[in-house]
Amino acid sequence: MIRFAQSLDAGRVGAILTEFTTETPWMPRLHTAAEDIRHAEQMIDQGLVTVFDDGALRGFLARRKDDVLSLYVRATDRRRGIGCALLDAAKAQSAVLTLWTFRANHPARSFYRREGFSEIGRTDGENEEGLPDVHLAWRRKGKDG
């Protein structure tokens, strides 16, 4: 169910990005749907993207080494373990993961907290969107805790 994305997945990955921006009132629309697909294509070409695909592409995670760049699940598929599965696959390959999420994205912040991430920093909007964000980190626990 979790596999590396292929070039033919770019449209579906881009559509998930577009859907999130469209359905999120506080998120500014900075890119067109075509630009979202192009961005997805670039990440896929770099080998950064894994997808959850059980016959339908339901979500994706983009990661560069220990940095999670993106984790999105289709709106209709949220709260079904897809984000956890994608994140667990990344955790299995790393002892540490870091990521940024927007402060206004309360569902994501709650999700990451449940998944063992802790806040390590914040900004007042030093990102493309100009929105306040939070820097989070997860560390694999050793046998001593």
Per the CB < 8 A criterion, the answer to whether 138 and 114 are in contact is no
- Whether the per-residue pLDDT at 127 is higher than 90: the answer is yes
Q: Name the nearest CA neighbour of 125 among 21, 16, 26.
A: 26
Q: Where are the domains of the chain?
A: 2-139
pLDDT in tens, 1-50: 999 999 999 999 999 999 999 999 999 999 999 999 999 999 999 999 99
Q: pTM for this structure?
A: 0.94
How many CB atoms are located within 10 Å of the residue 113 CB? 12
| pLDDT at residue number 143 | 59
- Whether the per-residue pLDDT at 69 is higher than 80: the answer is yes
Instruction: Quickly name the fold that domain 2-139 has.
Output: Aminopeptidase (3.40.630)
